[in-house]
Structure 1
């Protein structure tokens, strides 16, 4: 696992556009090797701005969007099309504006009455089917893992001192009684999250500063789950000034 690097932008808007440019460059670099790029998407207000900035960038045309595989790190277990779903946000901001291959877009299941456990198991199966002989933990090796961080330190839908933090034998789990609504979610587990070449934490806001400082200080992942995720080759904390205020304190 890689040690974290920190890059700070002046404000949230500048952060989002910097991340968008970095993501385009990363996807182009991966595709230049002849591989299909594997990306894990996240949700949240900054992520939405990142996705819109990618969609609006002329540089997006350098990417063969039909050779990008899209996954999600977590999802709110809500009906399809619900505006609170991470999938809905990503489609409206980016995926509906580029020529993706629908077979390469892998949203977590919406709530159709089948239960979150069944939905999580189905996602784990989908990940396993995409894994190659050189991959581990039943998931493909992702090229970029995009993550936000909550003020409480949660990452994906892995919350402090909550069930699921010690799940080691499955790639995706159902999360119940989430302290942040909605109460039922699906999330990748630590073994799956830690299978990315590059893990990018995209964080803005003064309310995240203490959490960022604690995560970078390598606090126990049971207290600050974000501290438990690292890229295989690179871990980037992409911050604005406000969220970087407590680093090293």
Structure 2
């Protein structure tokens, strides 16, 4: 049974934009990840979920922020720090499917839905605002997402990690209209021994969807490439739905997600560098 708790809008914000934070307890690589505690610059311990929610609440262009989960432990934790929560089915395959379920369960009427990752508290709110503004300016965009241009040093570090089987970020290539051509957990484009290496763009996993485009996702079959890469956005490309890329500047401390216990140290270091307690 689907249940909704809360639903409070942010006063003075755009009611036509809603943020949803998908949060799953049963992560294969890091069970219970949303509730792991991260220490801030002054030593305050807050869960990964709360830190992601607090960051999402700083997005000026959003009218409401929801947490969508399939686990009562996450629901109860979110309610304790004042978040609006919607319980969604356990069989959602990814965050986009969970956002679909949340829109229906919570009865959200917003035209623009933002999928804000619950394991990425370092996502800059200004980057989300840039995504919202881009989609407001061009109503033909059904799906949008954000990228940053990596430095050559960072790209080389990612290639080194790749050689030992560690894939920390998703990269993207796109056409001249800024529509994505492909996403991969490997570093693309492949450059081999070329000296004039093209830039590598890293995907920040925050998405904007038109409501009707998001709800259409439920009826699309998972694509072969989506299943091979483990990247939900490839389902849109497989169906011929363009994904518009929005470039933003890289923030201090880098963009780190919490995908495994070893990532906690890097995220805490970035919180300190940004003076976030």
Q: TM-score w.r.t. structure 2 length?
A: 0.31
TM-score (norm 1): 0.33
